[in-house]
Structure 1
Amino acid sequence: MTSAFLLALAPNASANWQSFISNAATGFESSRWEDEQYSEVRFKDCNQYYATGGWVKVALWEDNFASPDTNHGTKEFTNCFNGTNSVSAGEWTGLPLDGYYFRLQDTDGGLLDVRVVAIDTTKAD
């Protein structure tokens, strides 16, 4: 099964940005961004098709140029499945200056839609 997805207008630089996900499966990777110290990934209004649970595991990966990418840990998102305005978030700190992306490590076997995906690179807000 091929997963169809769309992350629209996601910049490839250090900045806060928003987008969405449609019909993504385990292994889906987001657009890249540059960051250091802090990254937060937020999902608002999640729906999952062909799955039994209401959860998704999201990992932050460092996009290493000359070596294998580094996994900075996985967060399990559940709250975003609880209604239109429900949000799940994961934050990672102490990050070196580099490029980053998130990967759907596990979607319970289903296809995931997320109405709002937000990347926040500033801990201050």
Structure 2
Amino acid sequence: MFNVRKWTATAGMASALLLAMAPNASANWQSYIVSAGAGFTSSRWEDESYSEVRFKGCTQEYAVGGWVKVALWEDNALSPDTNHGTKAFTNCFKGPDAISAGEWTGLSLDGYYFRLQDTDGGLLNVRVVAIDTTQAD
């Protein structure tokens, strides 16, 4: 059993790493998350004024609850990154098509990413991760 968990954790970290190492996106984009824990960071994107992070179809491995805290960070080149606040996502755990979303406004023109600030103790899977930088829709 230990070897199975060790292999699962290794595969999960590799999958999470693939999303983190994906090329920078400059507008709206979609991806997914497999077996990511607290501290996981997304790909970067450029934005101004508005960003929305949406998770669709969330599940967790090795956890009984259903929540994750997602923070939007500004990628500052010459100073520490700026945290623009954290949103608790719970609804996306209610089924494969259930969505949780967080919106951040008043952003300066810069690079951004989200970080899983906290999970319910398990590894997070998200069927669809969507970044929307257009407030008008």
TM over 0.5, shorter chain: yes
Q: Residue 104 of structure 2 aligns to a residue in which SS?
A: strand
Deviation at 1:11, TM superposition (A): 4.7
- Return the structure number with greater strand share: 1
2:82 to 55, 63, 70: 70
User: Which runs of structure 2 are paired with 1:23-34 in the superposition (5 Å)?
Assistant: 23-34=35-46
User: 2 CA distance for matches of 1:120 and 1:9?
Assistant: 19
Larger Rg: 2
Deviation at 1:10, TM superposition (A): 5.2
> Could you list the runs of 5+ residues in structure 1 that have no partner in the other structure?
none
Contact preservation (8 Å) 1:8, 1:20: no
Residue matched to 2:131: 119
1:92 to 89, 104, 114: 104
Deviation at 1:109, TM superposition (A): 1.4
State the one-letter code of the partner of 2:130.
A
Q: Does 1:48 align with 2:60?
A: yes
- Return the structure number with greater helix share: 2
**CA deviations over 1:14-61 (Å, ceiling 9, x no partner):** 210000000000000000000010000000000001112100000000
Between 7-16 and 100-109, the greater mean CA deviation after superposition: 7-16
Using the size of structure 2 for normalisation, the TM-score is 0.86
Using the size of structure 1 for normalisation, the TM-score is 0.94
Aligned residues with identical type, % of pairs: 78
Contact preservation (8 Å) 1:9, 1:19: no
Runs of 4+ in 1 over 4 A off after TM superposition: 8-11
Q: Residue 7 of structure 1 aligns to a residue in which SS?
A: helix
Number of aligned residue pairs: 125
